[in-house]
Amino acid sequence: MTVYEQLTEYCDCLVTESIDEGKVAKFDARAVDELINLISTYTCWATKPCETFLQGERKEVIDVPDCSCDCDVFEFDPYFAPFDVDSFTFTLIEQNGINETQTVVTDYVYSEADEKFRLELPLPNCDCSPQCGCKSKFKLMVTYVAGYEEIPECLLPLMCEALQWIIEKNECDCEACQDCENKYANTNEIDYTKLTGRIQEHFLTILTVQYFRQLALISLCRRKHDLWAVVV
């Protein structure tokens, strides 16, 4: 089931009689995309343009110590979760001047208890003094699939309510949302609190404490994003 189908089945705000049937799907799909992008931004899933909390390929690149010193087992804690354990690909990148060599890492294991990967990286055994003798720099590139296939069921009420705000905002134009048609009318009679403002402001007003707690279930905002591989 697609996200659009999921929201259509759960929400009652997706059918708009003011537009013909041929435009309903396109209009609502645009509103759903806007909602998904908004939720992804608030929950720190959007680390690059158009990235969302829905399932998709992710890439992380982290620095690795320049030499192994016989400690070549490292831990990797994926930033994005939930993830598909079988989708991970680890590539060790060796950078020496303008030259770059990539080696696929095959010696690794996933710990369900720690929810981390342990890897044996093929690093050279260099001088183990505080200043290692390796001229090369190393990075670990990790690609994997992470995110949600569907919107979590507990978030559907929030999604429907926020989606209604987006649909109303997108319907508003120079004629549709005017409280006063006479340009000479007294503007003091207009209740500006009822006018549609920025979607972010409306979104915050409907986020009750319970909604914030629900969003926290998929949020990555407090999750640690390691920039270095951790030696075990």
What's the CA gap between 213 and 219, in Å, rounded?
10
Burial class (CB in 10 A: 0-12, 13-18, 19+), 15: exposed
Average pLDDT, rounded, for the chain: 75
Identify whether the C-beta of residue 146 lies closer than 8 Å to the C-beta of residue 82.
yes
pLDDT tens string 8-55: 888 875 554 444 555 445 556 788 888 899 889 888 998 888 899 999
- pLDDT at res. 189: 46
Identify whether the C-beta of residue 187 lies closer than 8 Å to the C-beta of residue 56.
no
Q: CA angle at residue 85 from 83 to 88, to 5 degrees?
A: 95
Q: Which domains does the chain have, with CATH numbers?
A: 3-53+149-172+197-216 (no CATH), 57-147 (2.60.40)
Angle between helices 3-10 and 156-171 (to 10 degrees): 90
Q: Which residue has the tokens 């990539």?
A: 102
- pLDDT at res. 19: 47
Q: Which residues pair with 137 in a beta bridge?
A: 95
What's the CA gap between 136 and 180, in Å, rounded?
70
The tokens describing 147, both together, are 């995110």
Report, in angstroms and rounded to the nearest whole number, the Rg of the chain calculated over CA atoms.
25
Backbone angles phi, psi at 209, to 5 degrees: -55, -40
Backbone angles phi, psi at 169, to 5 degrees: -65, -45
The tokens describing 184, both together, are 């000479």
Identify whether the C-beta of residue 40 lies closer than 8 Å to the C-beta of residue 53.
yes
- 65 versus 188: the higher-pLDDT residue is 65
Share of the chain above pLDDT 70, in %: 62
Count Cα neighbours of 9 within 13 Å in the Cβ-side half-sphere.
Answer: 9
Angle between helices 156-171 and 199-206 (to 10 degrees): 150
- CA pseudo-torsion sign 124, 127, 130, 132: negative
Amino acid 138 reads F
Q: Which residue has the tokens 């831990």?
A: 75
Residue 135 pLDDT greater than 50, yes or no = yes
Q: How confident is the model at residue 185 (pLDDT cuts 50, 70, 90)?
A: very low
